[in-house]
Amino acid sequence: MSSSSATALARGTGRVRMAGINTPNGQIRTVRGSDLLITGIDLSGELAGMLASMQPRIAVHYIDGNEVDGSELLAACGGDDRHGEIEVPEVVVVAAPLLDTTTLGWMRRIVANTRLPVVAIVEAHPAQRSALRRRAQEVGALDCLLRSELSAALLEAVIAHARNHGRNLARLSELRDRFALAIRGARDGMWEWDLVRGRVFYSQRWRELLELGADDIKPVIETWLGRVHPQDIGRLRRDLEALIKGQIPRHESEHRVRDSEGNWRWVMSHAVVHHDGEGKPLRMAGSLADITSYRVRETEIRERSRQDQLTKLPDRRVFLERLARAVEIGRSHRDYQFVVLLIEVDRMAQIRDSYGMGEAERVFALMAKRMEDCLGREGVLFCFDTGKLAILLEDVEDPSVGTHIADLIHQAVADPFEIGGAASYTTVSIGMTSSAHGYQRAEDVIADVSSAADTARDRGRNRHEIYDSSMRIEARTLLALEMSLRRAIDENQLRLHYQPIRWIDTRTILGFEALMR
């Protein structure tokens, strides 16, 4: 329609729903209303009366269907109208003599370009009703009516249904657009699992969280679950199965997922399931959030709470946990070996008594730093106790590496340090043991390495000793003797004897030796 025709029409009829375009006989006809009729045939008689009697009335638009598509329709409806007097219709009613390929083609274009509900009216035999309706619906039309069966009530009902359908589609489209906008703006990745078809939708943000490309994503649940850490996958699958079965109301899980670079990321997943009226699960929808940074900070805080404040080394609790794990691995894997060193800084008591606790702690921290520098990546240094440090060497090929580390430590601590304004020296006594003894408990490792460290101290300090079974026998013998003496004192089993000490030449008594027997 020319702009002059549109202007004249608007001026002549006021605000209308649809402007007319020249019909085959050159006339322009419009009826004020809220719907639209596109037709390539004459609307005389009964059909025109039906349309005229409807409330709201139908805006009738006569065109040659072969000359219009959806874009031209929208332009005529106001997309290009400068005066803003013509509005987009709610329903498109297409009346045509035949539902041939040409008619179906421009109906398809109208549906694609306008997204309006389309109802077709054709002249055909009732036997063709089902086939014609199917063909119309295949190109996106809502329904197809036969001219011979048309009545005012039927036409009004169909148009009312089409209007409601169009409004619902518009609301759905708006909601879909809002949801798409929310997904794009969300930090979480969204996913939806069609439990009936087995297909899964993953949002772009979901892919971005794991740095995955479009080729890495398949519409199946294993795209996600196949990347979950082996230690977490069993728990996650059980949780999702319980959600599907209705055993839990919602899913929430922290687990690790491998990204495109092979790195493990901590994520938090949430999900709920939608059921039909009979309780059958239809869809599961949820989100995935990257919580790696939170877990890293949490780990750092937890590790700081398990850290010796003086040396900044992992404390005894961490050492015992790591040692217990090493023992467990050693029990199940014969080729796995570990070495433990227990290091006692000599003369710490004398330094504390002579210079005070502050200086003693400074010296201990200095010794710990020197020992840590000796390790590199070969092991981990722990603060075991006051004046004592421990080293755990895991998965070593040769237990003799412990001796090499001990030699490096002796050399490192031999350098002088300043205390009280003067240079001073100290040494360390080191005990060692390894998984070669077939340990079953971490407590046994601690007992044996402590015996080796005590032996090193008793044999002159500034040395290292490797545990052997005789040390345990000696330690147990000494312990048994101490316990026997304690029991003898408690039960008053000891007698006091005096033995004189004489000077042989003069036979003079110089004194007495007291003995408890």
More confident residue, 270 or 16: 270
Give the mean model confidence (pLDDT) for residues 235-259. 94
Q: 212: domain CATH number? A: 3.30.450.20
Q: Are residues 26 and 113 in the same domain?
A: yes
So what's the pLDDT on residue 84?
A: 43
So what's the pLDDT on residue 468?
A: 85
Categorize the per-residue pLDDT at 89 as very low, low, confident or very high, splitting at 50, 70 and 90. low
Distant-in-sequence, close-in-space partners of 179: CB < 8 Å, separation ≥ 6: none
- Lowest-confidence range among 48-62, 284-298, 486-500? 48-62
- Tens of pLDDT, residues 10-47: 222 323 333 333 333 333 333 333 445 555 445 555 66
Give the HSE-up count for residue 476: Cα atoms under 13 Å, Cβ half-sphere.
Answer: 7
- Tens of pLDDT, residues 450-498: 999 999 998 888 999 998 876 666 666 777 777 878 888 888 888 888 8
| Residue 206 burial (CB count, 10 A) | 21
* Residue 64 scores a pLDDT above 50: no
Domain finish residue from 295, 317, 334: 295
* Residue 301 scores a pLDDT above 90: no
So what's the pLDDT on residue 67?
A: 46
Q: Are residues 257 and 342 in the same domain?
A: no
DSSP β-bridge partners for residue 392: 340, 380
Give the HSE-up count for residue 419: Cα atoms under 13 Å, Cβ half-sphere.
Answer: 23
Q: Are residues 199 and 342 in the same domain?
A: no
So what's the pLDDT on residue 471?
A: 63
In the β-sheet with 143-146, what is the strand arrangement from edge to edge? 58-62, 35-39, 92-96, 118-122, 143-146
**Within a domain: residue 420?**
yes
Give the mean model confidence (pLDDT) for residues 397-409. 91
So what's the pLDDT on residue 431?
A: 94
Give the mean model confidence (pLDDT) for residues 392-406. 90
So what's the pLDDT on residue 43?
A: 53
Inter-residue contact 180 to 174 (CB < 8 Å): no
Q: Are strands 417-419 and 264-275 parallel, antiparallel or unpaired?
A: unpaired
Inter-residue contact 62 to 19 (CB < 8 Å): no
* Residue 111 scores a pLDDT above 50: yes
CA dist., res. 109 & res. 90, Å (int): 17
Q: Is the link from the previous residue into 97 a cis peptide, with omega within 30 of 0?
A: no
Distant-in-sequence, close-in-space partners of 340: CB < 8 Å, separation ≥ 6: 323, 390, 391, 392, 393, 402, 432, 433, 434, 445, 449
CA dist., res. 61 & res. 23, Å (int): 9
* Residue 222 scores a pLDDT above 70: yes
Categorize the per-residue pLDDT at 345 as very low, low, confident or very high, splitting at 50, 70 and 90. very high
Q: Are residues 428 and 480 in the same domain?
A: no
Q: Are residues 197 and 332 in the same domain?
A: no
Give the mean model confidence (pLDDT) for residues 94-110. 81
So what's the pLDDT on residue 112?
A: 81
Q: What is the DSSP letter of 16?
A: B
Q: Are residues 281 and 404 in the same domain?
A: no
Helix (H) / strand (E) element for 307: namely: none
* Token representation of residue 239: 């949780």
**Within a domain: residue 352?**
yes
Q: Are residues 32 and 145 in the same domain?
A: yes
More confident residue, 42 or 335: 335
So what's the pLDDT on residue 510?
A: 84
So what's the pLDDT on residue 309?
A: 84
So what's the pLDDT on residue 65?
A: 44
DSSP β-bridge partners for residue 429: 344, 463
So what's the pLDDT on residue 72?
A: 54
**Within a domain: residue 20?**
yes
Q: Are residues 483 and 336 in the same domain?
A: no
Q: Are residues 324 and 446 in the same domain?
A: yes
Helix (H) / strand (E) element for 2: namely: none
CA angle 92, 98, 102 (to 5 degrees): 75
Average pLDDT, the chain: 80
So what's the pLDDT on residue 74?
A: 54
So what's the pLDDT on residue 224?
A: 96
So what's the pLDDT on residue 321?
A: 92
Give the mean model confidence (pLDDT) for residues 488-514. 85
- Lowest-confidence range among 60-69, 214-223, 294-303, 330-339? 60-69
Q: 115: domain CATH number? A: 3.40.50.2300
Inter-residue contact 39 to 51 (CB < 8 Å): no
Q: Are strands 417-419 and 388-394 parallel, antiparallel or unpaired?
A: unpaired
Percentages helix, strand, coil for the chain, rounded to the nearest 5? 45, 25, 30
Please say whether the dihedral angle defined by the alpha carbons of residues 31, 33, 39 and 45, taken in this order, is positive or negative.
Answer: negative
**Within a domain: residue 477?**
yes
So what's the pLDDT on residue 161?
A: 87
Q: Are residues 40 and 173 in the same domain?
A: yes
Q: Are residues 357 and 378 in the same domain?
A: yes
CA dist., res. 29 & res. 51, Å (int): 13
**Within a domain: residue 38?**
yes
Amino acid at 394: E
CA angle 127, 132, 137 (to 5 degrees): 145
CA dist., res. 479 & res. 468, Å (int): 17
What ranges make up the beta strands (E) of 116-250?
118-122, 143-146, 189-194, 199-202
Q: Are residues 83 and 204 in the same domain?
A: no
- Judged on CB neighbours under 10 Å (0-12, 13-18, 19+), 314 is buried
**Within a domain: residue 302?**
no
Q: What percent of the chain has pLDDT over 70?
A: 79
Specify the number of domains making up the chain.
Answer: 4
More confident residue, 251 or 152: 251
More confident residue, 333 or 391: 391
**Within a domain: residue 301?**
no
* Token representation of residue 213: 């490309």
Domain finish residue from 115, 147, 180: 180
Helix (H) / strand (E) element for 9: namely: helix 3-13
More confident residue, 167 or 133: 133
Amino acid at 378: E
**Within a domain: residue 300?**
no
First-residue to last-residue Cα distance in the chain: 130
Q: 426: domain CATH number? A: 3.30.70.270
Cα–Cα nearest to 372, from 346, 349, 396, 391:
391
Inter-residue contact 85 to 16 (CB < 8 Å): yes
Domain that includes residue 228, residue range: 187-295
Amino acid at 46: E
* Residue 199 scores a pLDDT above 70: yes
Categorize the per-residue pLDDT at 230 as very low, low, confident or very high, splitting at 50, 70 and 90. very high
* Residue 91 scores a pLDDT above 90: no
* Residue 357 scores a pLDDT above 50: yes
Cα–Cα nearest to 60, from 86, 96, 85, 34:
34
